[in-house]
Amino acid sequence: MALAHRALTVHPLTVRNIETVASVLVNFTNKLAVHSEMHVHIIGHSLRAHVASYAANLMPDNSMIHRITALDPAGPGFESILYQLKPSLANYVEVLHTDYAEIEYVGFGLKNLTGNIDFFPNGGFQQPRCEKKKALYRLFKKGFVDGNFQIKMTAANSITVTGLISRVTTKLMLFKPDQLTDDCQFIGYACGSHQEFLRGLCTDCGEDGSKCAIYSGFGESQQIQEEVQNRPKQEYYFQTKQDPPYCFHHYGIRFTAENVERLRFFSYKLVIYGSKDSISYNSKL
pLDDT higher than 90, residue 15: no
Structural domain tally of the chain? 1
Radius of gyration, alpha carbons of the chain? 21
Domain membership of residue 52 (yes or no) is yes
Rounded (5°) CA angle 92-93-97: 150
Element (H, E) at 161: strand 159-162
Domain membership of residue 47 (yes or no) is yes
pLDDT digits (tens, 9 = 90+) for 165-204: 443 444 454 455 555 666 778 899 999 999 999 888 998 8
pLDDT digits (tens, 9 = 90+) for 133-151: 555 545 555 544 433 433 3
Domain membership of residue 280 (yes or no) is no
| Bigger pLDDT: 212 vs 148 | 212
The mean of the pLDDT values for the chain is 73
pLDDT digits (tens, 9 = 90+) for 251-274: 777 777 776 676 667 777 888 888
Grade residue 214 by pLDDT with cuts at 50, 70 and 90: confident
pLDDT digits (tens, 9 = 90+) for 55-112: 888 887 656 788 888 988 887 666 666 678 899 888 889 999 988 866 555 557 888 8
Question: The CATH number of the domain where 160 resides is what?
Answer: 3.40.50.1820
Count Cβ atoms below 10 Å from residue 47 Cβ, excluding itself: 22
Domain membership of residue 265 (yes or no) is no
Per-residue confidence (pLDDT) for residue 5, from 0 to 100? 47
**pTM of the full predicted structure?**
0.76
Domain membership of residue 83 (yes or no) is yes
Domain membership of residue 278 (yes or no) is no
| Bigger pLDDT: 266 vs 35 | 266
- What span, in angstroms and rounded, lies between the C-alpha atoms of 154 and 137? 27
Domain membership of residue 108 (yes or no) is yes
Q: Residue 240 sits in which domain range? A: 4-248
Domain membership of residue 60 (yes or no) is yes
